[in-house]
C-alpha cells in the first residue's frame, strides 16, 4: 500500500502526510519555498516537480526509503471536525472548481435528486438555505463513510484519523501533529527542527486557500449549522478525530483544541 498522500521536499528535509482541508496548500508551498526560495506558481497540488509526492511513481521509492528509515522530520496537520466538514461542503459541493465546473461532474445533481440539496448558482448569487442544505449534505457524508453508499467517501470529508492512520499502518511515525487553529506555532516547531536551503519566516507567508472565492460565503456562525441531530451525525463519523486530536465535541462554537495531542496514543490506536 505504501504511503499515499505523502509529500517530501526534494532535499528530504521534511516529510508531510497531507490531510485534505487542513492547510495543505499552505504547507505544500512552505515546503516548496524552503527548497527553492520561491513559491510554486499555481496550485501546489498540480506541481509535477519541486516536491516528491507519492502520486508520482518516481518519487515512491525515495519516500518509502526515507519513511522506513525515519530520516526526516515527519508531520501532519489536523483541523476541528465541525469547521472541516463545513469547509468541505462550501468548497466541494457549493463552489465552482478551478476547471470552471462542479466538483466530480454529476455529484451535485445526484445530491439534489437523492438528498434534496440546493446549492444555488453563480447566476443567483448562490442564494439558498445554507443550514438546511448543509444538514442534508451531512446525511450524505455519513452514508458514504458508514455504508459506502451512494458512493465511496471522498478524501475531503473522510475522517482525518483515516488519512493519518495509513502512514502509521505502513510503518511511518510522526514527529509532530499540529492544529490549523494554531498553525504558526505548529509549523514553526517543525521548521526549527530541520535545516532548509532557504529560511522561512511564517509571518510573511500568505495563506494559500485555493478554494476561496469560487462559491458562496458562509452566512452563519459555525454553531448555527449543527443542531442536536447534526452533532450526533458528526460524532458518529468523526468520533476518533475528536478524541485523538483533542477537539471539543460538546461545543461547535469552540474551534480550539481542548488538550495536547498524545503522539504515543495516536500511533498505538491508529497502528493497530
| Residues 196 and 185 sit within 8 Å (Cβ to Cβ) | no
Q: Give the CA distances from residue 185 to residues 21, 177, 192, 202, in Å, rounded to whole numbers and listed in that order.
A: 19, 11, 11, 9
pLDDT at 120: 84
Q: H or E stretch including 229? A: helix 228-245
Q: Which residues of the chain have pLDDT under 70?
A: 210-214
pLDDT at 207: 84
pLDDT at 122: 76
Q: Give the CA distances from residue 68 to residues 98, 99, 172, 192, 194, in Å, rounded to whole numbers and listed in that order.
A: 36, 37, 6, 23, 18
pLDDT at 176: 98
Query: What is the spatial distance between Cα 176 and Cα 268, in angstroms, rounded to a whole number?
Result: 15
Give the burial class of 189: count Cβ atoms within 10 A of its Cβ; 0-12 exposed, 13-18 middle, 19 or more buried: middle
pLDDT at 211: 59
Contacts with 83 (C-beta within 8 Å, 6 or more apart), sequence order: 222, 255
Amino acid at each position: 500500500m505504501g504511503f499515499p498522500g505523502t509529500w517530501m521536499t526534494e532535499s528530504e528535509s521534511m516529510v508531510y502526510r497531507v490531510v485534505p482541508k487542513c492547510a495543505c496548500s499552505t504547507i505544500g508551498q512552505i515546503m516548496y519555498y524552503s527548497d527553492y526560495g520561491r513559491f510554486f506558481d499555481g496550485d501546489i497540488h498540480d506541481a509535477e516537480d519541486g516536491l516528491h509526492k507519492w502520486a508520482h511513481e518516481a518519487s515512491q521509492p525515495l519516500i518509502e526509503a526515507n519513511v522506513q528509515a525515519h530520516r526526516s522530520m515527519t508531520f501532519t496537520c489536523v483541523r476541528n471536525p465541525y469547521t472541516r466538514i463545513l469547509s468541505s461542503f462550501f468548497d466541494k459541493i457549493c463552489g465552482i472548481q478551478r476547471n470552471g465546473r462542479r466538483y466530480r461532474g454529476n455529484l451535485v445533481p445526484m445530491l439534489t435528486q437523492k438528498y434534496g440539496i440546493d446549492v444555488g448558482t453563480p447566476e443567483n448569487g448562490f442564494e439558498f438555505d445554507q443550514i438546511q442544505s448543509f444538514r442534508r449534505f451531512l446525511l450524505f457524508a455519513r452514508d458514504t463513510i458508514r455504508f459506502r453508499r451512494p458512493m465511496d467517501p471522498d478524501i475531503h470529508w473522510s475522517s482525518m484519523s483515516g488519512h493519518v492512520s495509513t502512514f502509521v499502518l505502513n510503518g511511518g511515525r510522526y514527529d509532530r501533529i499540529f492544529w490549523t487553529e494554531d498553525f504558526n506555532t505548529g509549523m514553526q516547531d517543525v521548521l526549527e527542527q530541520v535545516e532548509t536551503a532557504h529560511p522561512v519566516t511564517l509571518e510573511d507567508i500568505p495563506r494559500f486557500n485555493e478554494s476561496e472565492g469560487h462559491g458562496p460565503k458562509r452566512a452563519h456562525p459555525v454553531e448555527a449549522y449543527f443542531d442536536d441531530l447534526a452533532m450526533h451525525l458528526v460524532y458518529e463519523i468523526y468520533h476518533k478525530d475528536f478524541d485523538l486530536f483533542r477537539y471539543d465535541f460538546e461545543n461547535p462554537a469552540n474551534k480550539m483544541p481542548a488538550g495536547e495531542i498524545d503522539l504515543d496514543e495516536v500511533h498505538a490506536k491508529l497502528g493497530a
